[in-house]
Chains A and B, each alone.
Chain A
Amino acid sequence: MGILEVKNVNKRFGGLQALGDVNLSVAENSCHAIIGPNGAGKSTLLNCLVGKLIPDTGSVLFKGESVLGRTPFEINQMGISRVFQTPEIFGDLTVIENMMIPCFARRDGVFALHGIRSVASEGELRDQAEQMLEDVNMLDKRNMHSASMSRGDKRRLEMAMCLVQKPQLLLLDEPTAGMARADTNNTIDLLKEIKDKRNITIAIIEHDMHVVFSLAERITVLAQGTPLVEDTPENIKGHPKVKEAYLGEAA
């Protein structure tokens, strides 16, 4: 059984069947890509995994426990971190403060009232945060106002914020969308390193096939809310059904 098990998940928005009988199993310490044309239901599926949406039917199990009905912060505390399509960081805070918040969340849980102790006295957490920043080559930017950074840096910061929590499952929603080629390659290297050294399972939604084929060990193709095929990258490349889904009947 995989670390993440999605079984018969259905989700309807009014008359639109966004997800229809989706089954998915992500093996531990693997990198599983979910691809599909626009509107295939990839983001809806992701939102069902993190508690933003609740599927109409079906089940989502993480490490054998259901995540349905739990709030996003509870699901995060179970060990699932998520990177958004557009980087979601604390723009008003500095880079090091951005990094320390997940450190606090990991140590203190969903709520802790430390109103008198100063942040400056939390040496251990600061070391953790700085170590992680060094790993993603951002230590020199630690006192920068995070909103003023480039999109690539924001993305890297967001990923570092997820990694410092030491999640067991990292969900990535188009992590290279709108990035320059060089930034994309940096991201691929970073993700490869995460997978190899940190033992984190990765589930990735991506449009860029270069990224998908450099990282993924399994690929699920979604089309119109249903999984079309699930296979290794080699087999997906030439699969006729996949071509059809992407290019239409004529191909």
Chain B
Amino acid sequence: MFGLNRKDATLLAIVAALIVFAPFILNPFPAESGWAQFNAGYPDLMQRFVIFGIFAIGFNILFGLTGYLSFGHAAFLGVGSYAAVWMFKLLSMNVIPAIILAVITAGLFALVIGYVSLRRSGIYFSILTLAFAQMSFALAYSVLTPITGGETGLQLALDDPRILDAAAAGGNIPVPSLFGMEMRDSVDLTFGAWVFTFNFGYYFCGLVMLIAFYLSIRIFRSPFGMMLRAVKSNQQRLNYTGLNPRPYTLAAFVISGMYAGLAGGLMASMDPLAGAERMFWTASGEVVLMTILGGVGTLIGPVLGAGMIKYMENIISKINSDILHTWFAFLPDGLEDVVVGLIYPFIGKGWHLTLGIVFMLVVIFLPGGLVQGGQKIAAVFRRRSANAGGAEAEAAKQNPAE
């Protein structure tokens, strides 16, 4: 199907199903219950899941295949965001031209940074990319204020030219749309105590992520993908086999930069403002964490990692001490305070601590990330069912008369 083998087609179908049914899957608890705060099925967060999924898929093409660890990928995301917002300001509120410009700008930016940075490998490459990204951040924050909006960020204004659809704007700042369908449009479906929200923007991002995921499968299975793995494995041999590693790594860098630009463009399409903090080095570090947490070099790993980190960032950080107290209200007073005191550092603003612990556990026990965890669980089940099958066969042998 679509030029994929069976296994990859199944994976694509699973991802498609997850995207389509996410509003249900992420909202398992009734809206009024105490557990509702663990529901992640609201549009804003679901959009972030898929957008960062795209970012991580692209990052994985570079890091997973070639082993070049870029520490400045957020720069491309930021550039994509700025490009998209400028398109909204100047041309039209339609997201298509905005996203196209975001991808192209990020690609060009990646071409320049990659051309310089890829002269070195290993830690020096990481440091070079980090330096470029921090430089971009600093420029966007200060010198380039006319283009980037500086500290306040780049925002839409009523008097923006918007050449194509200025006439349509009334007294309000228009919102991004796809041929008239606004990104913020939502439909609520109430089902007993449950409320499911279907947001147009989310499904648009989901469709884009599905395409991005499909392309990444094709790249992984292509001769180009094989060459990238060869770069990671042994550059010396590649050189002496008549292949130049440089254009291969540069192409991978540009492609993954374009993925980041796509993510940035989508981010601006969901919420039309862009700030320099999107380029900050912590944002670059986050995508590294997502990829490693999910599984470097696997197809679906980065998507899982992105989902996990964004879930923790948004859900765990919302828990506060009052909520903890209601949870542990059944305990005797003194004990309740102790338990709440123990858990408190890990919630709210301390969600980074929880993330750190989860990350450490994954790296130590599952170096292949969440995907490896899934494989281990699957292997246990397979062994168990094989054993069960074996036992039945044994029993059948012993009682042939039956």
Using CB atoms and an 8 Å cutoff, list the residues of chain A in contact with chain B: 50, 71-73, 76-77, 81-82, 84, 88-93, 97, 100-102, 104-106, 109-122, 161, 165
Residues of A within 8 A of B219 (CB): 115-116
Give 1 or 0 for each of B43-56: 1 = CB within 8 Å of chain A CB.
00000000000000
Q: Which residues of B contact A89 (CB under 8 A)?
A: 234, 237
Q: A92-B229, A92-B232 are in contact. Are A111 and B247 (CB under 8 A)?
A: yes
Q: Which residues of A contact B248 (CB under 8 A)?
A: 111
The 6 closest A-B pairs by CB, nearest first: A76-B242, A90-B233, A92-B233, A105-B242, A111-B247, A110-B244
- CB of B240 within 8 A of CB of A115, answer no
Contact of A161 among B3, B218, B241 (CB under 8 A): B241
What mask results when residues 222 to 264 of chain B are scored 1 for a CB within 8 Å of chain A, else 0?
Answer: 1111110110111011111111100110010001000000000
Choose one: A101, A116, A120, A121; the contact of B243 (CB below 8 Å).
Answer: A101
5 sample A-B contacts, Cβ–Cβ < 8 Å, listed by A number: A88-B236, A88-B240, A90-B234, A111-B244, A116-B222
Q: How extensive is the interface on chain B, given as a class? A: 20 to 34
Do B229 and A119 touch across chains, with their CB atoms under 8 A apart?
no
Distance in Å from the Cβ of B236 to the closest Cβ of chain A?
Answer: 5
**A50, B230: Cβ atoms closer than 8 Å:** no
| Cα A71 to Cα B240 with chains together (Å) | 9
B172 close to chain A: CB less than 8 A: no
Known: A110-B244, A117-B223, A119-B226. 18 other contacts (CB 8 A): A71-B239, A73-B238, A73-B239, A88-B240, A89-B234, A100-B223, A101-B241, A104-B243, A105-B241, A113-B251, A114-B224, A115-B222, A115-B225, A115-B251, A115-B255, A116-B222, A119-B223, A119-B225
- The reply to whether A112 and B232 contact each other, CB–CB distance below 8 Å, is no
Q: Tell me the number of A-to-B contacts counted with CB atoms below 8 Å.
A: 109
Does the CB pair B240–A50 fall under 8 Å? yes
Within 8 A of A (CB), among B255-277: 255
Docked Cα-Cα span, A113 to B222, in Å, equals: 9
B223 near A112 with CB under 8 A, answer yes
Is B190 an interface residue, CB under 8 A from the partner? no
Residue B383 at the chain A interface, CB threshold 8 Å: no
Contact A72 B224 (CB under 8 A): no
- CA gap between A133 and B289 in the complex, in Å: 41
A115 near B221 with CB under 8 A, answer: no
Residue in B232, B240, B251 whose beta carbon sits within 8 Å of that of A81 in the complex: B240
Listed residue (A76, A113, A115, A165) with the most chain B CB atoms within 10 angstroms of its CB: A115
* A101–B240 touching, CB < 8 Å: no
Chain B contact residues, majority secondary structure:
helix
The residue from A77, A82, A115 contacting B218, defined by CB atoms under 8 A apart:
A115
Residue in B215, B236, B243 with the greatest tally of chain A CB atoms within 10 Å: B243
> What is the chain A residue whose CB lies nearest that of B247?
A111
A91-B238 Cα distance, complex, nearest whole Å? 12
* Least CB distance, B67 to chain A, in whole angstroms: 9
Closest approach, in angstroms, between the C-beta of B240 and any C-beta of chain A?
Answer: 5
Cα A88 to Cα B234 with chains together (Å): 7
Contacts of A50 in B (CB 8 A): 240
Point out which of A81, A84, A104 has the most chain B C-beta atoms below 10 A from its C-beta.
A104
A106: which B residues are within 8 A, CB to CB? Answer: 242
Q: A118 and B221: CB pair below 8 A? A: yes
Using known A-B contacts A90-B234, A115-B218, A120-B5, determine if residue A72 contacts B240 with beta carbons closer than 8 Å. yes
With A113-B251, A116-B218 as contacts: A82 and B240 at CB distance below 8 Å: yes
Shortest distance from the beta carbon of A128 to any chain B beta carbon, whole Å: 14
Task: Knowing A90-B230, A114-B224, A115-B219, say if A72 contacts B239 (CB, 8 Å).
Answer: yes
| Alpha-carbon separation in the docked complex, A238 to B301 (Å) | 65
Bound CA span A161–B233, Å:
15
Chain A hits for B218, CB < 8 A:
115-116, 118
Task: Using CB atoms, name the residue of chain A closest to B297.
Answer: A92
**B238 CB to closest chain A CB, in angstroms?**
7
Which parts of B158-206 form the interface with A (CB within 8 Å)?
none
Q: Given the complex of chains A and B, what is the CA–CA distance between A97 and B242 in angstroms?
A: 16
The winner among B3, B5, B227, B240 for most chain A CB atoms within 10 A is B240
Least CB separation from A76: chain B residue: B242
Given contact pairs A113-B224, A116-B218, A122-B223, A73 touches B230 in the complex (Cβ within 8 A): no
> CB distance A118 to B243 under 8 Å?
no
Is A114 touching B222 in the complex (CB atoms < 8 A)?
yes
Complex: A112 Cα to B10 Cα, angstroms: 29
Give Cα A161 to B248, complex, Å. 20
Q: Are B227's CB and A104's CB within 8 A?
A: yes
Report the minimum CB–CB distance from B244 to chain A (whole Å): 4
Report A167 CB to chain B, min CB distance, Å.
9
Establish whether residues B224 and A101, one from each chain, have CB atoms under 8 Å apart when the complex forms: no
Q: Are A100 and B234 in contact, CB atoms less than 8 angstroms apart?
A: no
Q: List A contacts of B230 (CB < 8 A).
A: 90, 93, 97, 101
B224 / chain A contacts, CB cutoff of 8 Å: 112-115
Q: Is the CB of B226 within 8 A of A73?
A: no
Chain B residue at minimal CB-CB distance from A77: B242
- Known contacts being A71-B244, A76-B242, A110-B242, is A100 close to B226, with CB within 8 Å? yes
> Separation in Å of the A81 CB from the closest CB of chain B?
7
Distance in angstroms between the alpha carbons of A80 and B72 in the assembled complex: 39
- Cβ-defined partner of A73 (8 Å) among B222, B225, B227, B240: B240
Contacts of B232 in A (CB 8 A): 92
